[in-house]
Structure 1
Amino acid sequence: MNDFIIEDDLEIMNGDFCIDEASQQNLTHILLSQKGSFKEYPILGVGLTRYINSPDSTARLRLENEIDKQLIYDNFNVRTLDVNDLKNIKIDGNY
């Protein structure tokens, strides 16, 4: 998926917005954002930090379910999802 590239700010090249492959960037934004962060899509967002800091042992299962649900909502086809290591979540799929 091609989209605007955002590092610390919008990337600009030759006086125009830089457009490039942005699938990984989109996944990162969805995982880190809370519900309500995207005004046009208020139910989009996983809120990953909430799950990482949770002492609940079922948090990992809820996190996997929430990631899957949110990515499907964003039209991402999830092939595999591995949340066994919360510091290194593996997602395979495509838009």
Structure 2
Amino acid sequence: MDTKAFKRSLASSDQYHRKGFGREAEITDLLQLEYQSNLVQQIRQQGYRLQRGDVTIRLAEAFGFCWGVERAIALAYETRQQFPSERIWITNEIIHNPSV
């Protein structure tokens, strides 16, 4: 199959959603809760390291995402709320840092 033709047909499909569903406010609160949680704050306060038994979690001091990654994550969350039981396909990488 011609991949360029497939991408064009997919992008013009009514099942391809690129701009969201108008749930930005809900998603912003949810992302804030999950990515700035008490656990994240606790790890920061302990020198960006948390150890429980044999497991050590290290948090990068520059923890965060660029605007494009934040947008992609928010769109993925928004899509899940819009389609709670559907199978969802992400067609490009979300985090474009190979070491993450």
TM-score tier after normalising by the smaller chain length? 0.3 to 0.5
Q: If you compute each CA radius of gyration, which structure gives the higher value, 1 or 2? A: 2
State TM-score, norm by structure 2.
0.31
Q: Which has the higher contact order (CA 8 A, sep 6+)?
A: 2
More strand by share: 1
State TM-score, norm by structure 1.
0.32
